[in-house]
Amino acid sequence: MSDTIFITGVVIHARHGVMEHETEVGQRFVIDLELSADLSQAANTDHLADTVSYASVVATATAAFKNTNYKLLERAAGAVADAIFAAFARIDAVKVTVHKPHAPIAAIFEDVGVVLFRKRSSP
C-alpha cells in the first residue's frame, strides 16, 4: 500500500543555472513534492510520530535546494530527493518538480522545469 503526501508551491530563492548572472543574483524557483509512504498507522492513531512532518519535509527540501549552487535543475532536484530519503525512512518514493519561471530563454513561456521520480533503493 502506498499513500501520498503532497506539498506544492514552495518558493525558494536560489542561485542555480549555467549563466553567470544566475549564480550571482539568483532567482525564484518553485518546488512541488509528492511523497509516497504507508500512512495507514497515522490514519488510525492520529499521532504525528506515525507519519512525516510536512514542516520537516519543507525544511529538508529547502536546505538541500539552497545550500549548494547547481548548474542544472536536474541535479538540484536530485539533491532534494536524496535529502528526503536520507531524512525520512518512511518515504518509499518521491516526485520532485522544480519550476524555473524566470529561466533565461528568449521566448515567452509560462513555465519550465524538471520532474524527477525516485524510488528508495532496497538495502
Share of the chain above pLDDT 90, in %: 85
75-95 confidence digits (pLDDT tens): 999 999 999 999 999 999 999
- Tell me, what's the pLDDT at 65? 97
Which residues are tagged catalytic? 100
Cα angle for residues 36, 37, 42 (degrees, 5° grid): 135
Cα 105 to its chain centre, rounded Å, is: 23
27-64 confidence digits (pLDDT tens): 999 999 999 999 999 999 999 999 999 999 999 999 99
**Domains parsed from the chain with CATH numbers:** 3-119 (3.30.1130.10)
Cα angle for residues 117, 12, 39 (degrees, 5° grid): 45
- Tell me, what's the pLDDT at 22? 83
- Tell me, what's the pLDDT at 2? 81
Report the alpha-carbon distance of residue 4 to residue 7 in Å, rounded.
10
- Tell me, what's the pLDDT at 121? 82
Enter the DSSP assignment of 63: H
| pLDDT of 12 over the 60 cut | yes
Could you tell me which residues are beta bridge partners of residue 32? 97
> Going by DSSP bridges, is the β-strand pair 27-37/3-14 parallel, antiparallel, or unpaired?
antiparallel
